Amino acid sequence: MIGYWESENIYFSNDELGEKNKIIYIKENGQDSEDSNSEFNWEKSSKMKLKLEWMNNSLTPNPKKN
């Protein structure tokens, strides 16, 4: 069986993973495989991290265009 997953997280300046005057956007997705005994055979994932700024009523750069 192959499973797919995806997550998106946003961290602001005062969050534990935040940075001063930045908004941190992290998107991660992947897939994994289990055999009939629910043991993992393999996992593949990718992660994207952007440091964003709020300018002119929008995020720069636009995280949905990356």
What pLDDT digit, counting tens, does each position of 2-23 carry? 889 999 999 999 999 899 999 9
Return the pLDDT at 53.
93
Q: What is the dihedral angle through the alpha carbons of 15, 18, 20, 21, rounded to the nearest 10 degrees?
A: -100
pLDDT band at 66 (very low <50, low <70, confident <90, very high): low
Q: List, in order, residues 6 or more apart from 65 with CB less than 8 Å away.
A: none
User: Structure pTM?
Assistant: 0.73
Rg (CA), the chain: 16
For the four alpha carbons of 32, 51, 54 and 15, in that order, the dihedral sign comes to positive
Taking only the tens place, the pLDDT of each residue in 15-44 is 998 999 999 999 999 998 877 777 768 889
